[in-house]
Structure 1
Amino acid sequence: MAKKANWKELMTLHLRAYIPALVAFLFLLPSPVFAAALSLSPTNASVRVGSTVTETVFVLSTDQAMNAISGTISFPPELLQVVSVSKAGSVLSLWVQDPTFSNADGTISFSGIVPNPGYTGSHGLTISIQFRGKRAGTAAISFSPSSQVLANDGNGTDILNDTNSATITVTSSASAPSTPPAPSTAEQGLLARIISSTHPDQTQWYNRPHAIFDWTNAQGVSGVRLGYDKDADGEPSVPYSEPLSHKELDLEDGIWYFHVQEKGSGGWGPISSYRVQIDTVPPLPSTVTFPQGTTTPSGSSITALFTTTDELSGIDHYQVAVDGKVFTVTADAGSRPYQVSAGPGAHMLLVQTYDKAKILCYRRSIVIL
């Protein structure tokens, strides 16, 4: 008589039947998308021959802590020359290679580390580069393909997947008027030129509330007046008996103006002002809707709409990932029907919304194609 299968044997047979399907299902699940970016700011600038302009390198790594950056930046040495490279305020605190540059080869190299637990954020200052214009022309500045951002995962995984380039337009110094009007005695040489290593572009939004300002005082300056407010034509009201040339401020969200006025032997000079735009609040959670639903016949695409608002700086762009494949969608395009295409089955849709201060928020949706 045939022996009856006991319950243990039956369970083993069932498991053997389902394990291949279970393994296949787990294999098809989307894995997390970890990505970092290196950016140059401002992306567009202009400088006259003989004058200087500053470009700042920032790192973005919002969904995975990073702990090391190795970068090489190229620039046209016939149009620009590097005056200095600054590490001030950098998120990198241990330097494998201090920033170096070659005006002969047109390269800047650096390599540094952020100790454990690493850096997570969307606007980490790395280095600041001061260029001087050499000859009129359009200079393109870019990262080399060998640049890396390594994850703080114990394996040194390279998570860099995006870099931007910057353009500096160098104009001829001869374009200045040959006989400018003579300034008054009090104004001669007393217009301070303010720069900021933390907020280098006055037209851009930043999510960094701590602002650093520097300026070079004219010869013979005996004191300064400083101030900050939300008035582009504001006047500084705090006098200093010493010719300060550095100031750090912690500012709230909004548009601010930092004012400097120098005092020389002939009196107070004109007021210099520097604009700073700060937004530390993420966009409101985005709404992802599917006007035709989330299921379609096999081979068809699904229509998606992304809508959200950012009360201060405004929406800059969306990053859309379908099962790990990333696409960039402009703010205008996001409000129009966007076609999501993938093969049959369940898929993960990840929408990252960036405002103009490079702050993001997430929105995940499951779509069935």
Structure 2
Amino acid sequence: MIMANKKVFFVLPLFIFFIFTSRLNAATISLLPQARTFGIGQEFSVDIKIDTEEMYINAGQATLIFPVDILELSSVDKSSSVFSFWPDEPKISNDEGVLNFTGGTAKGISGGALQILKINFKAKRAGFAELTLRDAAVTASDGKGTNVLSALKGTNITIGAAAVPPTKSPPAPEALVETPKKIVREPVIAQKLPSKPELRVPLYPNEARWHNYIGETAVFWDVPADVIEAAAVLDKNPNTKPVNPEKELFTGKNLGVLKEGIWYIHVRFRNNIGWGETAHHKISIDTTAPLPFEIEMNALASDNPSPEIRYEIHDALSGISHALIFIDDKELARSTTTATTLPPQLPGKHLVVVRVFDSAGNSVEDTVEFEILPLVTPVIEFITESVSQGDLMFASGKSIPGAFIDVRVSNDLQQEIFTGTAQSDNSGNWKMTIDKPLSVGKYTISAVARDERGARSYPTGEEVFRVRPKTILSFGFIDLGWFEILLIVVLIIISVAGYISWWYVSKKNTREAYKIIVSRDIEKLTALLSDHLKGLEDLQELHDPKRLAQASFLVNKMKDVIAKMKKYLGQEVEKLG
């Protein structure tokens, strides 16, 4: 592990193996075969496989642990590996019981049983050997180094007939759904040759298709009551008739892990009359991805919006089935040819991905980035900046000669309200009339040039125009719509009402002031008359001529005061009115 960590900075730019965030839980690394028994001194091999579960990967690493007292790792074969380069070459340590490796491929690949390494062992002594994997990672070909490893599956190897598993047994390997059962019974007497066996192969049930996975394979059959022997053989000849019977009569036979290629299982029965007809079952296995390829284009930068892509693809075993083409992460087409013309693309950079599948479902991909150069952007030279509701709006400008000008109008919520197309003349002039009724508000207009190939320009900047209410009255440069007229009437009404209110309040305040003044003067008059009357009362009690003269003077004075007050109060009353 220390040595592996020292190489992280070398491997990181290619794989980023030690980033375990954003796991997609897809790929599985397995050891095959599962649960085998070998004799002491016997040599055998174990394969390291990756099931990508439809993910695309470009690298993998793992550490294999094995018991050095039971097994010796003699060699590693990477000749059939899907990995084409090894930043960390497979390194064997029979002292520590460790094998480390880090491998990768320049192209993304996918498959159910991708071959990574073949490991050759030699059995040293009897015992139970547990082979495990750890410190593993599988990197997706997503440009981010995402670790998509979800599971590790080891294997168990038994050496020698007397070997006993350790007290704490490792997890049992995945068992077959069913196992062949021994037939122990007395056969009945047959009247004719036995019928042809009906074969069942659970791992590979479909003879017509290719399979991209491997595992422990078994074939099963039902044994009729008259059968005394069965002969079964596995080879690559479609017409073999087995002649050597099995040592004992079973309901099937374990065939182990099959290698890539086309295999045939042949089974027939024998009864007391003789051998019956042979049944055949075809198994087609291809776990190797198609050969790497490269996408070719005439130019990686062009104003041609529909470039052609080409690719040479080959598969040595099951053959090429089809290719899936993606543009900017969106599936574009399924193709069975080696050349495809892309539909028109917008200006800018694009990423095309081609994934080639063989008939077994294995696949390899390649990517290429290309750029579509834009046409010259058109110019909007004139627009009607303000129009009455219901009137036509005009726009015009310049572009390349003979171009289609796609005009787009949006409201202030960036919702498309109108689209239309004009065509520029031989001088590049174009014009557009927008006759769609528009609501009152603010709008933006932009334009894109397009030629007959589908090539486009970048859009122009957005020009702003406004739609105002319909004009009812016009005074020179002043146009009044219903809204403006209503607003003016409302303002006049408010002004008149305000003036009347002010006048009324002002008059009311004046009357109140005069009321106070009149009340005050009446009080003064009353007090003055009261004083004069009291003086008269006092003089009346005295019968003195001098006093009577004074009384006459007071009476005259009172008449004078009353006359003045009558005139004054009359004026005040007029003011109150």
Which structure has more RCO (C-alpha within 8 Å, separation ≥ 6)? 1
| Structure ID, larger Rg | 2
Structure richer in helix, relative to its length:
2
Question: Please, what TM-score do these two structures have when normalized by structure 1?
Answer: 0.48
